[in-house]
Structure 1
Amino acid sequence: MGTVYFSFKTALCLYVVYFVCAYNITDEDQLHKDLFTNYNNELRAGNDRDFPLNVSMTFYLMAIKEFVEATSKFSVNGVFSITWRDERLSWNPAMYQNIQKTMVSQNKIWLPTMIISNPFKEAHGLGSDLVKIYLFSDGSCVWIIMQSFEVICDANVKYYPFDKQFCSLRFGTYGFDRNWLNITFPTSKIGMIHYEENGLWEIENTAAYCTADHGPVEVVFELYMKRRSTYYVASLLVPMTFVAVLQSFVFLLPNESGERIGFSVTMLLASVVFLTLIQEKLPESSEPSVSILGYLLLGYITLGGIQTLAVILSSNFFIQTKPVPKWLKIISCQELTKVEDKPPRKKSEENSVKELDDDSLKEKYEAKVEIKSSQGLLTKK
């Protein structure tokens, strides 16, 4: 009997709890009508007008879309979570079938509107008409916005591709100063819980704070990034250095082959191609500084041009019979060493050469005399 009574009591309690907690669309519709009757969304939230409204804000970084150094374009995907309290939107849950929370469109209530301060194109605010705001029975409002942001971020490419960049997202609460809004952050960092790692940039540090030195409150989110340089070392630095080193071996080619000029010009063109690839990635500005890599590649090209000119001059002197000037003997060192490497002739060899030369001269002389004598006999006849 006691067991049956206990089971009945438990079922009755569950039924009462279910009946109290359950509500339908009619109850929620009545709640909305009561909340927004005579509600003016032009007025700032907060009953005590002598104190600023406390607004808690958190920014969660989702992903870095792109960072174009040439145009100073920096775009990210992120989520804002903004919380404040509006006593006009509070209710007694017992009067509405224990409704604890509901959702409304963002254009129906007052919002701590923020506009991006450093836009890449056009300035825009947060959210859209599709975004809903959570309302709780104590008047708390939770505004969650997922959005893409494109801002201007000037790149410092002095140490490219081993550079570090600093970019910031700035939002201004235009129309509200510190006497109206008190923006706080649960943490001084950007939320990285849902962040997806970028293949090009590594985030070293973040910061979140607000400033209000003069005029409206400005919310700032900072990102300190470091470039992942492995790809650039493998595809730019190593091939570029290899071409520069290989270009210096042009004087080992024999001048008789005629390949010196072609080889030096080919290596020079390869350096120019690398310079073109780097210029496409770097911004077209001289401030704050020019990339050291650009100066290095310019030095490679200058050295290649000097070597090409030296090869042309050495080839020109090689085909001439005039003696090589002393200031160009270094360039034609290969030809000079060939001459110097020949062993000196002995006296016996020199005498035999002279005898051969004398015999050949005698034979030529006798041949000429015979030709003349024969011509004289022909004329007599």
Structure 2
Amino acid sequence: METAYLCVFFVCLLRVAHMYNLTDEADLHAALFSGYNTELRPGNNRDYPLNVSVVFHLFAIKEFVEVTSKFSVNGVFQMSWKDERLSWNPSMYGNCSYTLISQNKIWLPNIVTSNPFKESYGLGSDLVKVYLSSDGTCNWVTMHSFDVICDADVTYYPFDKQYCALKFAPYSIGSSWMNITFPSSKLTLSSYEENGLWEIEDSTAFSTDLSGTVEVILGLYLRRRPTYYIASLLLPMTFVAVLQSFVLLIPNESGERIGYSVTMLLASVVFLTLVQEKLPESSEPNISILGYLLLGYISLGALLTLVVILSSNLLIQTKPVPKWLQSVFCMRQTKVHNIAAARDTSPKEPDLKEDDSEIDWKEISKKFDRFCFVTFQILYAVQLIVYFSLVLGKTS
């Protein structure tokens, strides 16, 4: 046991003996930056581009405003490259194998955003340090909040999927001078915090040669979480629209039909306003199918208001019922009586008195309301079936 403690003691003593001090690191910095030119790109062989390895760590999605096409994220760029001018022999400086230096003291890959929301900006700040190894390897880690443009396709809102990309390009540096590579074709999401409205289905990271200039593209495939929109928008909108058709079950004599119908129609218009505030004011590539659904609801609501007015007008008619209208309802009643007679096997003399009796306007108004009520329920159901078949069929 004592032997083990002695071994540990000597190892620690040896480590302390070889530990560099402040003077060693100061001498190292003085030697490294003596005659160093930050304007010159690293690389002894100028015929080959400098290889820069890039990893992007996504932390969070701040916001995605479809109306203004603003997409904001928080993330960290981790870049590494080799600068032979910054290499040294650790044994000459107290076995100092690494050091930290300010980013403004060395050459940096000057990468700026190429699809900014407001204005282009570079990476890093004067507060950021670069981790420098003795072999000349530079590791630059810089955190930033990025605001870029992402045009949303809201065709299937709120069941839509979006693709947003952060694009960067080296300023005034061509592909023959610098080559950007990615160890992984995906973004690093180990520190990512889930967003309440958007779910990341996939990601991509790659660089392209765009007219002699390297362009870095960090893409995110997003899927909207529709639960909130279903509960707060789609279902209430549908309930209001269907509830409007129940105006036909209110007795005509109450005098409340017109007011009820107009009130529900105004409620549908309010929902239309809410939807328009959440969607971009553009028609490309397509406008939202939800807008068409709401337009159908409002159209049926307007038609329903006309039906209510027509039904009330039928009720107050004083003219005799036209023969053709009587024949329509008499034919319907005759069919009903024939079906009932076929079910009744007991011999009974036909009673034509009821079939031949005249029908008044009140009876016609009631039958008209029943027919329209069933028709509107079918139309609302057809609209919903068509909407969900279009939306879920494309997004599944």
Shared fold by TM > 0.5? yes
Structure 2 matches for 1:111-130, cutoff 5 A? 111-130=108-127
Q: Conserved in 2, the CA contact under 8 Å of 1:265 and 1:308?
A: yes
Cα distance in 1 for residues equivalent to 2:366 and 2:277 = 50
Is 1:17 aligned to 2:15, yes or no?
yes
2:86 corresponds to which of 86, 89, 99 = 89
| Matched residue SS, 1:88 | helix
Equivalents in 1 of 2:99, 2:207: separation in Å?
30
Displacement after TM superposition at 1:254 (Å)? 0.6
Residue 202 of structure 1 corresponds to 199
The answer to whether the Cα contact below 8 Å between 1:174 and 1:217 also exists between their aligned partners in 2 is: no
Q: Distance in 2 between matches of 1:43 and 1:327?
A: 95
- The separation in 1 between residues aligned to 2:296 and 2:362, in whole angstroms, is 29
* Partner in structure 1 of residue 150 of structure 2: 153
The answer for the alignment partner of 2:66 in structure 1 is 69
Q: Distance in 2 between matches of 1:266 and 1:126?
A: 55
Whole-Å separation in 2 of the counterparts to 1:216 and 1:18: 49
SS in structure 2 opposite 1:212? strand
CA gap 1:220/1:338 in 2 versus in 1, 3 angstroms:
closer
Q: Match for residue 214 of structure 1?
A: 211
CA RMSD, 1 decimal: 2.5
Give deviations 1:359-380, integer Å, cap 9, x for gaps: xxxxxxxxxxxxxxxxxxxxxx
What is the rounded CA distance, in whole Å, between the counterparts of 1:315 and 1:7 in structure 2? 103
Residue number among 248, 267, 270 corresponding to 1:270 in the alignment: 267
**Residue pairs, 1:183-198, within 5 angstroms:** 183-198=180-195
Counterpart residue type for residue 26 of structure 1: T
Report whether the alignment pairs 1:335 with 2:362: yes
Residue identity in the other structure for 2:21: N
Q: Which residue does 1:355 correspond to in 2?
A: none
Matched, 1:50 2:77: no
Superimposed CA distance per residue, residues 150-185 of structure 1 (whole angstroms, 9 cap, x where no aligned partner): 000000000111100011000011222221111111
Q: Which moved more, 1:11-20 or 1:289-298?
A: 11-20
What one-letter code is carried by the residue in structure 2 that aligns with 1:19? A
Query: Following the alignment from structure 1 to structure 2, what is the Cα–Cα distance between the partners of residues 203 and 73?
Result: 17
Aligned to 2:235: 238
Instruction: Compute the displacement of 1:263 (Å).
Output: 1.0
How does 1:166-185 map onto structure 2 within 5 Å? Answer: 166-185=163-182
Cα distance, 1:9–1:283 mapped onto 2, change above 3 Å: closer
1:270 CA drift (Å): 1.2
Residue type at the aligned position of 1:17: R
Cα distance, 1:324–1:139 mapped onto 2, change above 3 Å:
farther
Say yes or no: does 1:254 pair with 2:251: yes
Aligned residues: 335
Asked if the contact 1:58–1:82 (Cα under 8 Å) also holds between the matched residues in 2, the reply is yes
**Alpha-carbon offset, residue 18 of structure 1:** 1.0
TM-score w.r.t. structure 2 length? 0.79
TM superposition shift of 1:13: 5.2
- Aligned residue for 1:58, secondary structure, equals strand
Asked if 2 retains the 8 angstrom alpha-carbon contact of 1:275 and 1:297, the reply is yes
Give the CA deviation at 1:327: 8.0
Change over 3 Å in CA distance of 1:138–1:266 after alignment to 2: same
Counterpart of 1:92 in structure 2: which amino acid? N
What's the offset of the Cα at 1:204? 0.7
1:279 paired with 2:276, answer yes
Could you say if the C-alpha distance between residues 64 and 338 of structure 1 is closer, same or farther in structure 2, counting changes exceeding 3 Å? Answer: closer
Q: 1:303 is paired with a residue of what secondary structure?
A: helix
Tell me if structure 1 keeps the 8 A contact 2:315–2:361. Answer: no
> 8 Å contact 1:317–1:324 — kept in the other structure?
no
Relative to 1, partners in 2 of residues 1:254 and 1:70: Cα closer, same or farther, differing over 3 Å? same
In structure 2, distance between residues paired with 1:167 and 1:284: 19
Aligned to 2:380: none
The separation in 1 between residues aligned to 2:160 and 2:289, in whole angstroms, is 11
SS of the residue aligned with 1:76?
strand
TM-score (norm 1): 0.82
Provide the residue aligned with 1:294 in structure 2: 291
The structural deviation recorded for 1:27 is: 2.0
Q: Which has the larger radius of gyration?
A: 1
Measure the CA separation in 2 of the matches of 1:10 and 1:114. 48
2:60 is paired with a residue whose SS is: strand
Q: Which runs of 5+ in 1 are unaligned?
A: 341-381
2:228 and 2:10 map into 1 onto residues whose CA distance is: 69
Q: How far apart, in 2, do the equivalents of 1:333 and 1:271 lie? A: 35
Deviation at 1:240, TM superposition (A): 1.3
With 230-239 and 160-169 compared, the bigger mean Cα shift is at 230-239
Inter-partner Cα distance in structure 1 for 2:111 and 2:68: 25
